[in-house]
Structure 1
Amino acid sequence: MIDRSKPILVFLAAGVQGSAVMHAALGRGLKVRALVRDSNRATALAAPGVELAEGDLGAAASLTAASTGIDHAVLQVPIGPAETMAMQAGNALAAFKAAGIKSFVLKLASASRPAPCEEPSFIANHRIEEAARACGIDFAIVRPTMYLDNLLKPSALAEIINDGVFAPPIPASQRIAWTSADDCAEAALTLLERGAMGGDHRIAGPESLAGDELAERVSASLGRAIRYRGQPLDEFERDVDVAMGPGVGRRVASKFRYFATYPEEADAILARPFAPQSGLENFRPKSVERWVREHRLCFTIPST
């Protein structure tokens, strides 16, 4: 059982995934130590039950200080080159051991595949998992299918509002059991509260939907027509390069190219709806319709 007098350490607290964990913890009456790089730029996180702690995933000493006095944590590292992700996770795990953390949930961005596998994000995930298993601390893994929160990225949201189109780099024929950052956060906190460590939990939505079916559900929830368009990967890479710099598009698109090359793997990772699992027997993922209704204001067309 969790000692509720102590906070839970939440990594990447200022980001979409970390803030979802923070709010899920507060909703359960738990305290949070929110790890941020600069507390002066994270004042929006200030709330009853939240303690800000400065730390840099590239600096192990800062993570040890942030982990001191903590029993449990939810660990996530930002997406980047495999070497960087593995180093950052290693620093966090070393800090956990030094501080005496009892258990943690490792939130990964997607499935991983053991070598040989050429996809960089899967390689990074595999290396992080191996390091977690070698550290000697009880832990569980939570991994999503595909996040509905992708609809809320500024570029995607603008296209939905202005053009009525959602255009991820995935063909409409690919079935996906869409999940959300909120559901993954709830799953992570459920496992921590129950002490259900040792599992590898794939968090998915309750339905497997093709692109047009997703668009139908979003349209019904918003009360206006939204179309799904699978963006060609070359076009997606160019757009990412323009937004984030040359070469970034290729790295970001690599997972989607993997899915296109290995459709059976894509189905195994993305398509199956959530099924009850040990530690998450009573977990009920949100439907697309419910998630869209909860975020309806984000999709509001600005008045002119």
Structure 2
Amino acid sequence: MTNDRRPILVFGATGRQGGSVARALLEARWPVRALVLDPSKPASIALRDAGAEIVQGSFEHTDVIAAAMKDVHGVFSVLPANLSAEDEVRYGTSIADLATKSCVDHFIYSSGASVGNTLTGVPRFDAKPRIEAHIRELSLTATIIRPMIFMEMLVRPGFGLDEGRLISLIRPEHSIQLTAVEDIGKIVAAMFADKARFGGVTLKIASDRVTGHELEAAFTEIAGKPITYSRFSDEVLAANVDLAHMAFSLEDGPLAELVDLNVMRELNPELLSFKSWLSGRGRKALDAAFRTGSEMVQANRS
């Protein structure tokens, strides 16, 4: 059967979010065009082998990006986390401007769940809301998604798992909303398939909502040994601006706003719970966190 859908240009297709979106679009039979910096890297080759059209270029190559946007149905824009605030705003607004000039039918920008209605005055926190505001001023049918905290954050080394504990941002009785990266792709694919419903919409997305006590139970069951849960101490939060910002937002800010998980399941019937993610795709990261801790102990002893 002939596929008469026009391509979707995906930024960050060799990364986590962009890669999830590219895979989900290909599975949903969308032609995918991926902008990559190095076509010879394994991730780029895997994309090509999966059926994506590879375009070599960087955020600086606006002529390449403009050409890649020719005749596409949609654009998925996500930016690397390691950019400076200045570059993030510059690239994010430039991509949206090019999409407008190219008359792209549907533009989806991945922002951040901690974005609120007021600027903080801290450039790295305000980059995404500035991009959002710019997009809303354009004559562009756009959807803005704000993924909640990634599940991967909880299995990174250095959060105490190697010592039989998990230290995180919420009080044990409070809840945190988490997103499995692979769910983002499936949700975005559903949005591209329904421009009439999602054009002009800003939507927080999440996969699950769990308390600190529930995190403790899930880690203990999957790890097969006791894992206790606690919140970062006030002293640690006071010394780390980023952690303090997130902790406050989880209690009385944008990260505390409830995501309608029924809508998420409507968009992605295969939505992952944290427990199912941890026992599946997250298990490798969990084992690595345990292993890294042990290696650090051995290194300190030697």
Same fold by TM (over 0.5)? yes
2:295 match: none
Closer, same or farther: CA 296–146 of 1 in aligned 2, 3 Å: closer
CA distance in 1 between counterparts of 2:200 and 2:252 reads 24
SS at match of 1:40: coil
CA distance in 1 between counterparts of 2:225 and 2:91 reads 43
1:31 match: 31
- Give the letter aligned to residue 37 of structure 1: L
Q: Check the 8 A contact 2:55/2:68 in 1, yes or no.
A: yes
- Give the letter aligned to residue 244 of structure 2: R
Q: Check the 8 A contact 1:190/1:280 in 2, yes or no.
A: no
Q: What are the equivalent positions in structure 2 for 1:13-162 lying under 5 Å apart?
A: 13-41=13-41, 42-79=44-81, 80-153=83-156, 155=157, 160=161, 162=162
CA offset digits 1:129-155 (Å, max 9, x no partner) = 1111122111111112211022454x3
CA distance in 2 between counterparts of 1:116 and 1:88 reads 19
CA distance in 1 between counterparts of 2:71 and 2:93 reads 20
Q: Check the 8 A contact 1:150/1:156 in 2, yes or no.
A: no
TM-score by length of 2: 0.79
Q: 1:55 Cα deviation (Å)?
A: 2.4
2:185 match: 185
CA distance in 2 between counterparts of 1:290 and 1:141 reads 27
Q: 1:59 Cα deviation (Å)?
A: 3.3
Q: Check the 8 A contact 1:35/1:55 in 2, yes or no.
A: yes
Closer, same or farther: CA 129–223 of 1 in aligned 2, 3 Å: same
Q: What are structure 1's unaligned runs of at least 5 residues?
A: 239-249
CA distance in 2 between counterparts of 1:63 and 1:167 reads 42
Q: Check the 8 A contact 2:21/2:186 in 1, yes or no.
A: yes
2:207 match: 205
Q: Check the 8 A contact 1:140/1:199 in 2, yes or no.
A: yes
CA distance in 2 between counterparts of 1:44 and 1:283 reads 24
Alignment length (residue pairs): 281
2:252 aligned to 242, 246, 265, which one?
A: 265
1:286 match: 272
State yes or no: 1:10 paired with 2:13: no
SS at match of 2:175: coil
SS at match of 1:178: strand
**Rg bigger for which structure?**
2
Q: What are structure 2's unaligned runs of at least 5 residues?
A: 292-302
- The percent identity for this pair of structures is 21
- Which of the two has greater strand per residue? 2
Q: Cα RMSD (Å) of the superposition?
A: 3.1
Closer, same or farther: CA 231–71 of 1 in aligned 2, 3 Å: same
- Give the letter aligned to residue 231 of structure 2: G
TM-score by length of 1: 0.78
